[in-house]
Amino acid sequence: MLDKNTKIYVAGHRGLVGSAIWNNLLQRGYTHLVGRTHQELDLTDQQAVRAFFDEERPQAVVLAAAFVGGIMANSLYRADFIMQNMLMQCNVIGESYRHGVEKLLFLGSTCIYPKNAPQPMKEDALLTSPLEYTNEEYAIAKIAGLKMCESYNLQYGTNYIAVMPTNLYGPNDNFHLENSHVMPAMIRKVYLARLIHEGQWDAIRRDLTLRPVEGIGGEADKEDILRVLGKYGISDNRVELWGTGTPLREFLWSEDMADASVHVLLNVNFSDIIGIEKYSSVHYGQAVDGQVDRNHSEGRGGAIPSLGEIRNCHINVGTGKELTIRQLSELVAKAVGFEGDIVFDSTKPDGTPRKLIDVSKLHSLGWTHSVEIDEGVSRLYQWYVQNM
């Protein structure tokens, strides 16, 4: 358990999960928190990250920052998805080790698993067959991140834990149509289609002023607004969604994810995951010219042949429950009060057909979710309209 005075750096503290983790820590009495916006600190800049760690010297790190998006964004920005995420992970994990960080929590994604992995997906399904092509670069970056944590633990006796959340949604979600995930995009599309039908142009203009679409904001002509929204399948009482509507998805409320993350950060060690009470003894010395002196005893994880192969030490985080995209659209329509048509364009990609995770490891570590999907969809819609 980390002391309440522990200095914790939350990378990505303004994002969907990072902001929820920040608030969860505050609610638990952890007030010595450090955060930087992207404008204040570019995590892809190695020198800037090193200078930040030199100055702040956090004792624990939550790496929730990432370059993220849905199928469209993953298809358009393949190079960005692998390079941006790899740079951020290498810089933060590398500097955490260099500065003697006691505990690090790395957040990945369940897209790390093969496209046709057996369902529900256990942690040991990793690297057993090809990935889903549409998010391959992001998945590879996240696999590299969890392997960095695992490898640092085995070579240096660090205590870096990787958690792999399922599809997340909640307050501070990304509702920009060009690069948002399925649920927030669906909620916004259905909401705008209802507003168009009802002629609520003041509300439509407020929406586009806050979140312009392809440079079209609330001040634009009606014709331009309708044209750009039409490109994203939004029209009078009609919404068009990508795919067939048949893929199965699991969704986790972001504040539940934050609670799971903080639970792991405070209560779970690498030794708990691999089932060895004392796999390593690490003595952190004082930093000298930025370098931390570490003296390892016998017992350093990967250096002991008798331990065999240690892998798949990450933890799935989810609900263990799923529904189809079509069923999700019905929940969204109900929450928004939409009585129009939702149609699916089967010429567009579906992505992975099914993506349910096995959460038995998480449950064995003492945590289960609390927000069910129908309640969560309603709460996210209410948050959206209240933050216009």
Q: Residue-wise over 339-359: b if at least 16 C-beta within 10 A, else e? A: ebebebeeeebbbbebbbbbb
**Which tokens hold the place of 292?**
């931390």
Q: Round to whole Å and give the CA distance between 232 and 18.
A: 28
- Catalytic residue set: 138
Q: Round to whole Å and give the CA distance between 168 and 254.
A: 6
Instruction: Quote the crossing angle between the two packed helices 78-98 and 46-56, to the nearest 10°.
Output: 30
Q: Are 163 and 107 contacting, i.e. CB atoms less than 8 angstroms apart?
A: yes
Q: Which of 51, 60, 43, 56 is nearest to 5 (CA)?
A: 60
Q: Are 218 and 208 contacting, i.e. CB atoms less than 8 angstroms apart?
A: yes
**Measured CA distances, 225 to 38, 193, 201, 205, 230 (Å):** 30, 12, 10, 9, 8
